[in-house]
Every structure is written in structure tokens, then in C-alpha cells.
Chains A and B, each alone.
Chain A
């Protein structure tokens, strides 16, 4: 309780942030009434990527363990929807999808989070590939077909579904960042041995964070599956779903919750525009933007903004660029 109070009402900045989030969500709730028929779907994708990017930041941004498992959790959600969507209301199947992704991440985390550095990254990358091939094999063997139909929902319903996931996730992540748990994750990222010295159960903390970050990804995966109407392993576990959240988070900056959101908005809009206008050149332009971002603003858009604010405060002279 005290934590919630401090996170949302402790100090002016926290209050402004809280009301800004509430207003943004209310606005997002009504926006589809004023746009084209395509708008809800477009926004649903933006929010989906925002959720995935935020989820990636929650775990990898804090702990420094670069995960490429987003596609695995997203695809798990899609397949849960394919399996259960015809018989259950979408809200229920989304909750089950979230739980399934949580479970997959928890299990995988227990096995792999003793790995450090690049080995963890490679494993998570392999996980998406493995699930792709495994489900392919399973479908062909037992259903003699590749892919499944998914009961379709109208775009507006899907949009509200992902919006609710986004809102809940945001209202969980912000207090979590300020909590003892969030602090422990920061510590793991900065000095894992030291975190252990002060009594952090590093393995459990990492596994739990990994699983928590997977749950909303599963939920949005389930929702978005209904807009496609059909899933097969290549759609559900497409590798781009692992890479895009990482790029978006790096582009926006991983030191605040806004970075990944802004990254998702800019990147998805850019992708959407380029795919329509310059389908042939879209990947090339995309790649160039990414290279430029990493070279020019390694801490992302919000890193640049932070630096500017810090300079203003210190009057340009006092910036301490740290040694360690």
C-alpha cells in the first residue's frame, strides 16, 4: 500500500505521471471512435509492441540478460488462443495465455538463468526456434496439417483487450520498479555477485522477473491471433517478434517506462508507413535507422532527454562522466 502511494502520489513528478497515464488511457479508450476503420487495428499493433517492448525492458533492461524469447511467449499466447478461443470468451483465453507464457518462462528460467551473458541470449533465441519446429512436428503428426484456424474477433474488441493488458501492465510495472524487487533486479544488472552478497536470491529473482515479463506478452499474443484468423508456427514464432521489442526498447531507452513505449510508437508507425509506401526498401531503411540510433544515442531517446535535463540543472559545467 505504502509502495503504491509512493509510486503514484509520492512527490510532484509521480503525481503528474499517474494522472498522465490515466488521461492517456482514457483518451486511448475513446480514440477509435474518431478515426478510420483501420485505426483500431493499427493502434492494437502499436500497443502490442509497446507491451512486448516494455516486458523486454522489465527483465533484460534491468538485469542485463538480453533475452530473445519474446517470440516464444507471444507464440505461446497465439497457440493458446487457437486451441481455446472457439470455446471460451476471449478474456478467459487471454488470462490462460498469460498463465501459459508465465509457466513457459518460469520453467525455462529455472533451467537457463544460471547461464550468463551471451549463452543466455543464444538459448532464448533457440527457444523460439525450438517451439516453432516442435509445434510444427506436433501438428503434422497429430492433425496432419500445418496451422490452425482462430476464431476471429472484430478489431475494436481486440483493441480494447490489448489496451486493458497494457494499462494493467503499466500500473504493475511502475510500482514494481520502485519496489524492493525492482531494486534487486537493478542490483543484479549492475553487479550480480554483489547482489548475492547483500542477500538477494539472484536465481529466483531473475526467474520470477522473466516469468512476470512473459505473461502480458502471452496475453497480447492471444488477442492478436484473433485478428489474423489463422496461426501456424511460422506466424506465431516469427523471429521478428523477438528482435523488434529489443530494437524498440533500445531506440526509446531502457531507463524509464516511456522509452519502450515511445520506441514502439515510432518504430511501428515507421514500419507501417514503409511497408505501405516502400515495401521493397523497408528493411534497408529500417536497418539504417537502427544503426544511426545505436551510434548517436546509445541510451535511446529518453537517454538524450535525460542528459539535456541534467545539463540544464547543473548549468552545463558539472556533468560528471563517471569512471568506475
Chain B
């Protein structure tokens, strides 16, 4: 049984259907990638799995429990952390306050202090700048902060949306290194990316989504060799 199971979900914004009969599963301890162009439905799928959108049909289960009818804070408490596209930080709040918000759900809030120390240990740069406003940080530092905020909830599974977007190649590599490190510590990762090559290099399994439908899936390295992927996403 997969850790995360999405079965045949349909999602609509009003009259416009964004996801059609989408199914994915993520095994514990794996890195799974979700690839696709802008507007393909990647973020919609993430928003559905994190309780921001409700599917019109189908279900999402996490560790065997249905989560598609739960509010976001309950899903976070179950161990899913979500790093939205662009980090989505709170610009006028300090680094410390931004991190604290990562432990907002009530059961986590009480234990936020040790979590804060753990994150400072992971990202020393955040420790040095605790009381700096997040808007004064560079793009890479902001991404670190966003990761730190996501990890505040002690997740067993992380969704990363467009981690490398807007970062320099060097910084992007840095960020992927952190993902690999989290993975080696036992965290299951769902990566949503446009940076197809780098993502497939580290992914165990990958799904390709187009126009709201899953059109292809397979092992990460096998996908790198796939003709369709090569043509459509790698430009070779």
C-alpha cells in the first residue's frame, strides 16, 4: 500500500474542469516527480492533496486514511508539508515568525521551540538572521526559509512546488542537494518541477501531466530515455 494514494480525482474551478480522473501513488521513502508545463494542473493537484481544493469525485488517502475532506491544518498535522510555488513567505514578518507559522496547526504550536532549534541547526543562515524581515533576503535564502518553514511541522512527506524556479543554477543545485538529504533521512518527497532533467536524475518515479490528465508514468531514469519525454521536455 502506497503512502499517498490519489485515486481517480476530478477537480473543477466552477465550470472549468482542471483535473480529469487523475491517479498517482507515492511509495514511502521515495522521491516522486510530477512533471508538466504551465497550466497542466500540477499546482491544482497539489492544492487538492493539501486540502485547499475539494475534488468533485475520487479520493486522496495518506497512510490509509482519507484526507481529501480534511482542512489544511489537519493534513499538516498528519505529516504532510507543502512548500508552495515561489515560497510564499510573509514579507513583513521576521524569519523567526515565518518559521513559527510553519508550526501553526494547534498540536504543533505547543512544540514549536524545539522545532525552531532543529531548523536553525539545519540552516545556520536562518539562525544568524532570526530577526531580519523576510523581504530583505535574497532569492536563495528565501527558498531556504520556505523549506525551513515547511519542515517545521516535522513532516514524513513533503510536497515541493517549483523549488528551483527563479534560482541561479548553482542555488538550484544547492536546493536539490537538500532534497536528497531529506530523502536520505527518510522523508518521502513529491517534487513538482519544470526543471525536468535535474528532477528525473534524482526521482525514483515520475508522472507527466498534460491538460489535467496523467499522460505518462515510469521510473525516473527510464523516463530520461523515453522518446516522448526527450522530445517534449528535454529538447533533444
Residues of A near any B CB (own CB < 8 A)? 180, 183-184, 186-187, 190-191, 193-201, 320, 322-324
- Beyond A183-B97, A324-B135, whether A198 also contacts B89 by CB under 8 A is no
10 A–B contacts from the bound complex (CB under 8 Å):
A180-B109, A183-B101, A186-B92, A187-B93, A197-B52, A198-B149, A199-B76, A201-B71, A322-B91, A324-B91
How far does the Cβ of B225 sit from chain A's closest Cβ, in whole Å? 36
B210 close to chain A: CB less than 8 A: no
Chain B residues, Cβ within 8 Å of A191: 88-91
B140 close to chain A: CB less than 8 A: no
Nearest-CB residue, chain A, relative to B72: A199
B50 close to chain A: CB less than 8 A: yes
Contact A187 B90 (CB under 8 A): yes
Chain B residues, Cβ within 8 Å of A199: 71-73, 76, 104-105
Nearest-CB residue, chain B, relative to A193: B88
B133 close to chain A: CB less than 8 A: yes
Contact B73 A200 (CB under 8 A): yes
Whole-angstrom CA separation of A323 from B93 in the bound complex: 14
Nearest-CB residue, chain B, relative to A322: B135
Contact A186 B135 (CB under 8 A): no
Nearest-CB residue, chain A, relative to B112: A180
B44-86 interface code vs A (CB 8 A; 1 in, 0 out): 0000001010000000000000000001110010000010100
Contact B101 A187 (CB under 8 A): yes
B181 close to chain A: CB less than 8 A: no
Whole-angstrom CA separation of A183 from B136 in the bound complex: 19
How far does the Cβ of B9 sit from chain A's closest Cβ, in whole Å? 19
Whole-angstrom CA separation of A322 from B142 in the bound complex: 14
Whole-angstrom CA separation of A87 from B100 in the bound complex: 50
Contact B73 A201 (CB under 8 A): yes
Contact A190 B76 (CB under 8 A): no
How far does the Cβ of B113 sit from chain A's closest Cβ, in whole Å? 11
Contact A196 B90 (CB under 8 A): no
Give 9 new A-B contacts, CB below 8 A, not counting A190-B92, A198-B72, A324-B91. Answer: A191-B89, A194-B88, A194-B89, A198-B104, A199-B73, A199-B76, A200-B73, A200-B104, A322-B133
- Beyond A200-B73, A201-B73, A322-B133, whether A190 also contacts B104 by CB under 8 A is no
For the residues of A in contact with B, the DSSP-based class is: helix
Whole-angstrom CA separation of A200 from B105 in the bound complex: 8
Tell me which of B72, B92, B133, B135 contacts A197 (CB under 8 A).
B72
Whole-angstrom CA separation of A194 from B102 in the bound complex: 11
Chain B residues, Cβ within 8 Å of A322: 91, 133, 135-136
Residues of B near any A CB (own CB < 8 A)? 50, 52, 71-73, 76, 82, 84, 88-93, 97, 100-102, 104-105, 109, 133, 135-136, 149
Tell me which of A194, A320, A323 contacts B90 (CB under 8 A).
A194
Contact A190 B91 (CB under 8 A): yes
Whole-angstrom CA separation of A194 from B87 in the bound complex: 9
Nearest first, the 9 closest Cβ-Cβ pairs linking A and B are: A199-B73, A194-B88, A322-B135, A190-B90, A199-B105, A199-B104, A199-B76, A320-B136, A199-B72
Nearest-CB residue, chain A, relative to B82: A197
Chain A residues, Cβ within 8 Å of B104: 180, 184, 198-200
Whole-angstrom CA separation of A190 from B92 in the bound complex: 7
Whole-angstrom CA separation of A186 from B100 in the bound complex: 13
Tell me which of A183, A197, A200 contacts B88 (CB under 8 A).
A197
Chain A residues, Cβ within 8 Å of B52: 196-197
Whole-angstrom CA separation of A194 from B145 in the bound complex: 14
Nearest-CB residue, chain A, relative to B92: A190
Chain B residues, Cβ within 8 Å of A196: 52, 72
- Beyond A194-B84, A197-B50, A197-B88, whether A186 also contacts B93 by CB under 8 A is yes
Nearest-CB residue, chain A, relative to B71: A201
Chain B residues, Cβ within 8 Å of A180: 104, 109
Whole-angstrom CA separation of A184 from B98 in the bound complex: 11
Chain B residues, Cβ within 8 Å of A323: 135
Whole-angstrom CA separation of A191 from B101 in the bound complex: 12
Chain B residues, Cβ within 8 Å of A324: 91, 135
Contact A198 B135 (CB under 8 A): no
How far does the Cβ of B114 sit from chain A's closest Cβ, in whole Å? 16
How far does the Cβ of A189 sit from chain B's closest Cβ, in whole Å? 8
Contact B100 A183 (CB under 8 A): yes
Chain A residues, Cβ within 8 Å of B71: 199, 201
Chain A residues, Cβ within 8 Å of B50: 197
Whole-angstrom CA separation of A195 from B90 in the bound complex: 9
How far does the Cβ of B96 sit from chain A's closest Cβ, in whole Å? 11
Whole-angstrom CA separation of A197 from B136 in the bound complex: 22
How far does the Cβ of A70 sit from chain B's closest Cβ, in whole Å? 25
Nearest-CB residue, chain A, relative to B87: A194
Chain A residues, Cβ within 8 Å of B133: 322
Whole-angstrom CA separation of A193 from B72 in the bound complex: 12
Nearest-CB residue, chain B, relative to A255: B92
How far does the Cβ of B183 sit from chain A's closest Cβ, in whole Å? 22
Residue among A190, A198, A200, A324 with max Cβ neighbours from chain B (10 Å): A198
Contact A190 B93 (CB under 8 A): yes
Nearest-CB residue, chain A, relative to B161: A197
Tell me which of B88, B90, B102, B149 contacts A186 (CB under 8 A).
B90
